[in-house]
Structure 1
Amino acid sequence: MNIDTQKPSMGVLNLQGGEKRFNLSRLPAAEALSYFVKHYWIVRWNSRDDEPYMQHVVPNPCVNLIVEPGKTMIYAPSTQKFTYPIYGEGLVFGVKFKPGGFYPFLKRPVSRLLNRPLEVSAILDMNGPELEGTILSLGDEQAMAIVMDKLLLSKLPPQDEQVFQINRIIDFIAEEKDLSKVDAVCEHFQIHIRKLQRLFDQYVGISPKWVIRLYRLQNAAEIMDLRMPIDLSQLAMELGYHDQSHFIKDFKAVVGCTPDEYRRNVQNG
């Protein structure tokens, strides 16, 4: 399998190592959906390994509609690493909504979905098994995307200016790699912290503080994935942490191991 080392990981930990076991594709949604949908993603694998390969993902502040045999649901952002076992043969199709982009379809606070997946029939005219039969029976990835385009376009809500504002804020958080405080976001966008928190509760599902933390930890993992010599103390400072112990604590709480352990796993993998 050819590994695209330039492909952004978007929270997929050690993507280069993982793509030895599976193929990840990302496809754009129809232009009319691009205000709400970041992209479609498709993962395929056919593993002959004796033991499952455990793929870990640091969550993004995005809702995902996941089409998978027997498990088709809509999932809110999380504050914890997600682990998926890769074994046998499999196919999963996903819709990654832009931050805040799912709220106009849902019309209730996304935070209510935290740890409570939503049935796809809440926004589409079919249930999970019907959607699995419709999407996963198609062998061609572009055909899957076209079918999902039609299903979502039939339910297309009006554009919501708050979605645009949230994406401006989250793009700022993602790009400012030394940003660590919500106050800095409020100052940059001239928004009161309580208004920002309410906005994220309603549209994103997790707090601005957690969004900042997840992006900083994703940044850290992406740097370590490059398999180059890294000074972890310097890395912590570059990511806005004032002390390495705080960085280690946050990294372990979300990723499940210390930065040093993660670095060794990448180097050995």
Structure 2
Amino acid sequence: MVDPSRGVLYPARLPTFTRLGPPPRAAELVVWFWIPEWDIAPGRSSRQEVVSFPASNLVVEPDGVVLSGPTTRISHRDLSGTGWAVGTLLRPAAVAALTDDPGAHRDSYTPVDAPDLHAAVCAAMVGSAASARHATAVEVFSDWLVERVGEPTPDARLAGAMAELLMTDSSVVRLADAAAALCVSQRTLQRLARRYVGLSPAAMIRRRRLQEAAQLIRDYPHADLSAIAADLGYSDHAHLTKDFAAVLAFTPSVYRATVRPNENSFR
């Protein structure tokens, strides 16, 4: 599984956060489930800033179900009071069963009419130990997805292989690399990305590299930024800085200066 902190710009600010793999029956539909729970003192809040994975999430919260589409910029949420969410990072096969055009959901949250899913997950998240709540929530969520999606098509499976490759393989820095690895044309990958992801393959590669860059900058505060850029396949430091600024609105140097590994979780 991908490092759980990848994509989270300030991990020290996270509330109680659990990330769980899917059961085998849902493995073609879900990358992982994520479950935050929080209880923040009155008058305080916790801002969660994330460079999201190039994918969609289906999220159940006490007040409803939403489809969170793929993002093109940094996203954040300010948490306060007491609450929870049960979300899943969706694989392409599941996305295609929820929308005909995932690109239409970029940078947005769309309510999903799924009262049975909402009721089942809410019931699972009441009482008992956290581990039991989470396990039950994952089971009922998986059951719902399996029934909703059915058997993935060959195209959906190929789109899943593409997304897995672009999300996890640091040696893939160009669309041609992915096409060669999967033995298909670049045009095929572009078509699959449009139908099953909502972002171009090139945008997916850029997002993974940006996540990796942020993690290296955070974890190795004294590493040379030019060396990090070279290791991740950027042409130079300026290229990395341009990508950072385009998505995060600040530079790698500013991020390095502001990130604090042991900062207080709530501000």
Which bracket does the TM-score occupy, shorter chain normalised? 0.7 to 0.9
Q: Which deviates further from its counterpart, 25-34 or 164-173?
A: 164-173
Q: Match of 2:8?
A: 12
Q: Distance between the aligned counterparts of 2:21 and 2:148, measured in 1?
A: 18
- Which of 49, 62, 84 matches 1:56? 49
Deviation per residue, 1:6-42 (Å, 9 max, x gap): 9522412232x124xx111122333211111122211
1:119 aligns with 2:120: no
Q: Match of 2:95?
A: 103
Residue 242 of structure 1 and its aligned partner are, at CA, apart by 0.9
- Which of 255, 258, 262 matches 1:265? 258
Deviation per residue, 1:91-143 (Å, 9 max, x gap): 11112212x1323423623223224533322xx45486x56744544552222
Stretches (4+) displaced over 6 A: none
Distance 1:175 1:120, change over 3 A: closer
Distance 1:131 1:80, change over 3 A: farther
Q: Which deviates further from its counterpart, 138-147 or 22-31?
A: 138-147
Code of the aligned partner of 2:13: G
Question: Structure 1 stretches of 5 or more lacking a match?
Answer: 1-5
1:41 aligns with 2:34: yes
Code of the aligned partner of 1:18: R
Q: Is the 8 A contact 1:59 1:82 kept in 2?
A: yes
Q: Which deviates further from its counterpart, 82-91 or 106-115?
A: 106-115
1:88 aligns with 2:81: yes
Distance 1:238 1:227, change over 3 A: closer
Counterpart secondary structure, 1:72: strand
Deviation per residue, 1:74-102 (Å, 9 max, x gap): 1121111110113322211112212x132
Q: Is the 8 A contact 2:94 2:149 kept in 1?
A: no
TM-score normalized by the length of structure 2: 0.84
Q: Distance between the aligned counterparts of 1:107 and 1:257, measured in 2?
A: 33
Q: Is the 8 A contact 1:177 1:238 kept in 2?
A: no
Residue 228 of structure 1 and its aligned partner are, at CA, apart by 3.5
Q: Distance between the aligned counterparts of 1:34 and 1:184, measured in 2?
A: 25
Aligned CA RMSD, in angstroms, stands at: 2.6
Q: Is the 8 A contact 1:62 1:77 kept in 2?
A: yes
Counterpart secondary structure, 2:84: strand
Q: How many residue pairs end up in the alignment?
A: 257
Residue 170 of structure 1 and its aligned partner are, at CA, apart by 3.1
Q: Distance between the aligned counterparts of 1:240 and 1:174, measured in 2?
A: 15
Percent identity of paired positions between Structure 1 and Structure 2 = 25
Distance 1:142 1:179, change over 3 A: closer
Residue 231 of structure 1 and its aligned partner are, at CA, apart by 0.4
Distance 1:132 1:256, change over 3 A: farther
Q: Distance between the aligned counterparts of 2:126 and 2:89, measured in 1?
A: 20
